[in-house]
Chains A and B, each alone.
Chain A
Amino acid sequence: MMFDAGANVRVKDDWPESRGPVHIRTPHYVRGMQGTVLRRLGAFPNPEDLAFARPAPVRALYHVRFDQPAIWQEGHAGDEVVVEIFEHWLEPA
């Protein structure tokens, strides 16, 4: 699924690391969190497959902005956390 800048998204609340060996670039602290797409950074072979030397389909990578206080219960309104997240971890919010 493609997202435009400004799109409201939610990071999947999924924990593949509890199901077996994986390599994941989506930090634990944004799983299930809502954010806003800032920009599309490009498209890259999926590192989750590259890490196991599997054929790696190209996936879009986005900068997604989150409210920091919602993630870590600290900081001030307007503080933000920006994370690079691949498209297959995002769903419309």
Chain B
Amino acid sequence: MDKDTPRAHHDMGGAAKFMCEAVDTAPHGLTDFDKQVDAIRGILGAKQIMTVDELRRGIESIPEAEYHRLSYYRRWIRSITAILLEKGVITEAELRAALEAG
């Protein structure tokens, strides 16, 4: 019953393709990674470096295939990284160096 509209892929409320799948309502445990990402977002908000609105915009701009493949907090870190690069808070070189340093 989808209307023939240019719906953004994250805007999935009432979209027929998602109505055939049962919703997993079991509580999800948080991994250390999840908690770290949440903490990073909290610090960036407290320091007024980025808002939750920017976080959401960044999540929504993840390409559709990846969006559906990534976990909730992996979407967050993708968005946070993109926003920090976009705003010049970090550089590609700094990000690469940090990742290589592990």
Chain A interface residues toward B at CB < 8 A: 15, 17-18, 21, 23-24, 27-29, 31, 47, 50-53, 71-74
Contacts and interface: CB of A to CB of B under 8 A. Distances in A.
A66 to B, nearest CB: 11
A51 B14 contact: no
Contacts of B3: 28-29
A52 B55 CA distance: 10
Nearest to A19: B6
Contacts, number: 49
Interface of B: 1, 3, 5-8, 11, 13-14, 50-51, 53-54, 56-57, 60-61, 87
22 contacts: A15-B5, A17-B7, A18-B6, A21-B61, A23-B57, A24-B8, A27-B11, A27-B13, A28-B3, A28-B8, A28-B11, A29-B14, A47-B56, A50-B54, A51-B51, A51-B54, A51-B56, A53-B54, A53-B87, A71-B14, A72-B14, A73-B1
